[in-house]
Structures are given as C-alpha cells and as structure tokens.
Structure 1
Amino acid sequence: MNPFHNPIFLSKVLKVYLFDIDRLKRFDDEKLRKYQDRHLKKMVQFAYSVPLYHDKYKKAGIYPNDIKGIKDIGKLPLVSKHDIKKYYPEGIVSSKTDKDHLVKVSTSGTTGKSLSIYVDMFDIVMGLFGYLR
C-alpha cells in the first residue's frame, strides 16, 4: 500500500511537521538536555538490534544500559563506510524492522563508490521537509 494513501501515516507526518518541528526551539537548556538524553538512549537501544551496531558495541564492551545520555556519546564506537558495506544488506537492518516497508537509497558515489542503505518512507518525507525548510 502506498503510504500516502494511509491516513495513519499522513497524520503522523502532519503532526511532526506542523507541531513537533519547532518545539525544540522553545526548550530551555535543561529540558533540551533531558530530551537529548532520552532520545539517545532510545536510539542506542534500537541500534543494538541492528547486527552491525550490536557487533561494534559488543566488541567495544558497550551495552545499551551503559549509555545514560549525551555525556556518554564518546563511548560509542564509530561506524565506517567500510563497516556498512561489510554488513550490507541484512546486517544494517534491525531485527525489529519490517523490511517490506523499507526503501533502498544510495549515495551519489562522489568518492568513487556509492553506498546503499535502507530507510522507511517516514524518514524520507521528514528529510524532504527538513530540506524544504
């Protein structure tokens, strides 16, 4: 089903675009830090379900509960283009993700070789909205 025909998808996109996009600008420093900490923890928890990140974190001795917030971001191992290519295609997608709803996108390959990743339609639309702003 085309996601643009799905009212749930459209309502989520509109909510984020119309109401959520500017709310961070209104946060004071403390509220912004708490928001960043909370979302980084969620992101690391999700990343742990992606084979590439799971292996990198485990090799570095990092587990999701070790990351309490932004102050811990330096503990996270870097991921290279080589790592992504090594784990591509199955190892870069979370075991929690429905692969049927992903779209393959590729870089232009300005360094000589393109890089392909998978994203969902919501992320594509949000990226376009960010570009248009």
Structure 2
Amino acid sequence: MFKKEFWNSSASKLKSVKYLALMGVFIALKIVASNLYFPVSENLKVGFSFVLLAIESSILGPVAGALSAIITDNLGFFLGGGGVYFAGYTLTPVLACLVWSCFLYKQKITVVKIVIAKLINSLFV
C-alpha cells in the first residue's frame, strides 16, 4: 500500500482515455447520487453516494480517485450547492477516497475491509 508502484499505477490511469472516460462517468454518477437520499428527520438524511466513491476508489486507486473527488466536490457545489464556498471542505472526499483506496485498490475485497473502511470514514473523516 505504501510502495511507490501502488501510487504510480493509480497515477498512470490518468494517461489512459479509457480510465479518464470512466472517471467522468463516476463524476456524473456521484453528483447525481449526492442529491438522492432518504430523509429520516429534518436534519438527518441517508444517502448512498459513498458506494460510488468506494467502487471508484477500488478501480482507479488513490491518485486518480482523489482527483476525481476534487472535481466532483467542486463541480457539485457550482452546479447546485447552497451556501458559501469553502475549499477546505474538498479535503473530506479526498481523504475518504484515500481510505477506500487503501483498503480496496489492488487488494482482495472482503466484507471486513469494507466495514472497517466505512467505519474509519464515518468516525474520523
């Protein structure tokens, strides 16, 4: 996970038209999915956009996934976000992508890894 080829293999996907197109599809899907949720109460809503982030991170890896998270967050805000723009909030999806990538990219995917990654994202990111 902390080896150079782990990061280089993800960065090399930025040179492939196939993976850039896939990244564009994930960006569009994540923007749409972030607006689809189930309201539980006035201040609580349940959404599933994290599933797309996890799938994307397992395919694209940490570098390409982090770039996609930056684009998705900024584009999603400018297309329909409310409130004042603060670039610091972009760090949250980038860190979430890095956590998902560390657990799922180029590794055997198990339920335990998915649960641990989701817990880390929910509690610390």
Same fold? TM cut 0.5: no
Q: TM-score, normalised by structure 1?
A: 0.26
The structure where helix makes up a greater share of residues is 2
Q: TM-score, normalised by structure 2?
A: 0.27
> Higher relative contact order by CA 8 Å / sep ≥ 6: 1 or 2?
2
